[in-house]
Structure 1
Amino acid sequence: MPHLQLALLLGMTVALGPLALDAYLPAFPRIADDLGTANADVGLTLSAYVATLGLAQLIGGPLSDRYGRQKILFSGLAIFAGSALMVSQAGSLTDMLVWRASQGVGGALCAVSVPALVRDHADGADSARLFGLIGLIMFIAPAAAPSIGTLLLTLRGWPTIFVMLAGYAALLAVLLHFALFNRLTPRQRDRTPVRTLVTNYLLVLKHPATMRFIALQALAFSTMLVFITNASFIYQEWFGLSSALFSMLFAANIGAMALFSLLNRRLLLHFESVILLRIYVFIQAAAVTALVVCAFADAAYWAVAACIVVATGCMGALVPNNMANALEFFPKLGGTASALLGASQFTVAGVISAGSAAMGGSSLVPIVLIMAACSSGCVLLAKGAPAAVRKAKEIAV
């Protein structure tokens, strides 16, 4: 299958995650009023989704290796859609937390399948470019999600947002069945004993270069998720901006991610992905450092937004390069390696973002300091990444 067609379908699948994360952000104040809770507490529903999105990948990845990408992916879509409908009926914060966690399980089975499918059909720089192309396509979802959420919130109320998510998952199942799996050459399934579903994780855990990239992605994603979790507070409460302006500023982040992704695809023709990865990590760290300065200086919202746009924009190039390097050394265990990466990414980020929601309910400073701590960890890991890759390749040979 041509890379463009594969990227289009997988990009639409990956878009399920950003839609579930971002579409209901403008509705936080309304949800808080309807459920009789604080805005910061509604942020816990995002953390609940992300945490289970991570943990469930530990099961979904090996199952995907053994039983096939299609079965696991379609099971995830069914769980995601059903849980979204239940969220739309939630009458309390507890109900919403439970069903958002369930929705995260479905999202996990979908999320773990996409990197595995990429690894099945590409490696090295080709893998990085394919991940970048998928990113370009799926950027439409997070760019449009807050605006879609605002529109549905205005027309029919916040439950309609989750009905829309269920409908998108159902549509995606139909498209993937007819346009992807009916035309995609299936990979040879893993026929080893079931106990290897656990022991395969040890192979990944013992690989120092892969674990470096897994840790790096967990911290980089945490930097972004801390912002996403607190975006409503930062823009709508701290700076008092309207839902419309909030949506525009959020879309600017996605636009920056798309620009970085386009630049990265061209640079990959001339430079190694691990070298570019290190550069993007350093740029992100510089932007977050500037954000900390702005927070302490009580800078205007546009200055804070500019720093955030650069910091989150780097993720458009950072993630595809990092994922390509993380999965490079496990061509036959793409699902397992992808699951460990996704589980670490979403679980660590979920815990850190939940902590940021609890600590940052009244001030911008704790939020940006948490982002800075995560970004600093990325710098330490990225600094020695090229040498780690060279050593791993020498050992493999």
Structure 2
Amino acid sequence: MRKVPFVLLVLSLFALLTTPATAAATLPGGKTNFVVALGSFKAGTERDNWVRLGDYTFSTTGTVTARTYLWWQRHPAARQSTGTTPNGDCSTNAQAVGQTVVRACPVQTAGGFLRAPDETKTGTFSVSGTKLHITWRTDQTWSEQWAITARADNKLVRLDQTFNSLATAGYAYGSNASLNTGRSMQTVRDYPGTLMLDKEEWAHDKTGHLENHPFEIGKYRTCTTTTWCLTYLLTNPKEACAEKPSCIGTGGGSAINDRSIQNYIQRIASGDRRDTWWSWCTCLTRNPDGTDKEKCYTGNSHVKPMLQILDDDGEFHGWVGVEASFYPRNDSAVPRSHDMLAAFRISDFR
């Protein structure tokens, strides 16, 4: 065996002892776990729009991992039932106009949201002041830039998208709370703060924008038996349902003037941040003459998967979410312009 000269051995050991350790990467706002909603929306297109919902986990090694659900017009996913029907103290089996609670219908969500995320990807990131840059290791060039804003108490961080090579809309919030925990529906219902809705959307070949829209969580009813569910009948919404023929009583029928919207929010699992929001115009379950067609709407309802925003203490501060409402018929006779897609946030920190 060849012996290593003593002098070289000493020099090698000295080099090992004196080599500076690799500096830890700066986390965005000092936070590890982020919930993220993204969307790619282009007016005049019917096959290329998509939304993603998931989480980003940042490491002091300078790497980031994303786990996301993808809903894409090229592969429209059918709605699926969560298996939950709200009980009698927060819903009704009645179908008459003027009811004050929602109907007892099985809650729907976007197809695939009951299972684990579809995608996992890794990348590298860097933080410079209040700017976050991410480069993903994917087949196509994909980079993101976000502006970092910390809440006054530094327990919650908001990311505002400034550039994304693929997405046109994005919302993200981060803290050091575990991604494997969420708040109960009772806690959500009792939240004392003011939640506001902002969103970017695509529908009927057009893009749209909404901001500073009140989200009155305190008006939702708590279901005492199905405790993971909340319901709310919005009786006079700003979003008019009245343009629907069955809402205004065309075809010789008497006007029923029902503009109400059925709203359901449900917790998907106790071991993570998943919730879902389902809504539809009550009048869509009626014929133009006002007669009942069905109790629970089976058509193009709004399904909106969401992830809870939690601060370092695990306190609830709203959601990031997406709408992935694909027209039920998936054939060449039906244009994808009937789809409804959106990326949004509902939060007190905007």
Could you state the TM-score of these two structures normalised by the residue count of structure 2? 0.30
Could you state the TM-score of these two structures normalised by the residue count of structure 1? 0.27
Structure holding more helix per residue: 1
Structure holding more strand per residue: 2
Which protein, 1 or 2, shows the higher relative CO under an 8 Å CA cutoff with sep ≥ 6?
Answer: 1
